[in-house]
């Protein structure tokens, strides 16, 4: 008996379980792509950025961050664009950008956690309803039944539990994996932002003469590709 035949014999509860598995798979692919894109060699990135900042080159720092499409670079770029407005504005810009980036990193994880919990429960629901049907057979036959009369109904009922666990267990495992990855990114973002603000307070990053609009239009000749920073993160 193939998987499709088993699925069809599991009853109506199998369809919600199938829906959960499809949604879960879509979320897994989406989160993998998002988190893979967010990977960056933080030490290399901050070393290069500090070198530019210590020269007081606002345009170069903004251009450098613009050329590295990762959450950390996007956050620090927002801070650089608020540089002329003072340290408090820079902190506000970094905090706001950080919340936005973290939201995108965490998006859909709650749904994945829900699937991890709901899929096994749907499986148990299918098993319970199947057992109810099996005992109704006992009642209908006046209690005079053989094991073969009940076996078919019982094993079909247990199919829903098996399929529910097959969906729920991987979903729970990947949820914990993604949460760990996101927490690591948040830790790196917080540390790098603190380092960025400390460098500003040190006075080594002198005020540039470039407005935000001009900075965005700056050259990117010194900007390495994303792969430069991603190599050591793989």
- pLDDT per residue over 95-128, tens digit each? 999 899 999 999 999 999 999 999 999 999 988 8
Whole-prediction pTM = 0.76
Q: Does 225 score more than 60 pLDDT? A: no
Mean pLDDT of the chain: 80
Angle at 166 between CA 151 and CA 121, to 5 degrees: 75
Whether the CB-CB separation of 138 and 150 falls below 8 Å is answered with yes
pLDDT tier at 32, thresholds 50, 70, 90: very high
Higher pLDDT, 153 or 183: 183
């Amino acid at each position: 008996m193939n998987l499709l035949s088993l699925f069809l014999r599991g009853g109506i509860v199998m369809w919600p379980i199938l829906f959960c598995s499809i949604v879960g798979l879509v979320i897994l692919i989406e989160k993998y792509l998002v988190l893979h894109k967010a990977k960056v060699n933080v030490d290399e990135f901050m070393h290069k950025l500090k070198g530019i900042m210590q020269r007081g080159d606002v345009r170069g720092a903004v251009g450098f961050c613009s050329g590295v499409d990762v959450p950390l670079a996007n956050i620090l770029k927002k801070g650089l664009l608020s540089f002329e407005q003072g340290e408090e504005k820079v902190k506000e810009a970094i905090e706001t950008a950080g919340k936005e980036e973290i939201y995108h990193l965490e998006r859909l994880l709650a749904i994945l956690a829900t699937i991890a919990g709901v899929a096994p429960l749907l499986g148990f629901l299918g098993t319970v309803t199947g057992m109810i049907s099996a005992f109704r057979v006992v009642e209908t036959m006046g209690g005079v039944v053989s094991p073969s009369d009940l076996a078919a109904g019982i094993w079909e009922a247990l199919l829903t539990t098996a399929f529910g666990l097959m969906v729920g267990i991987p979903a729970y495992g990947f949820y914990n994996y993604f949460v760990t990855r996101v927490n690591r990114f948040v830790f790196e973002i917080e540390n790098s932002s603190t380092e960025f603000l400390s460098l500003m307070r040190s006075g080594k990053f002198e005020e540039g003469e470039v407005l935000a609009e001009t900075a965005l239009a700056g050259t990117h000749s010194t900007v390495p590709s994303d792969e430069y920073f991603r190599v050591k993160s793989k």
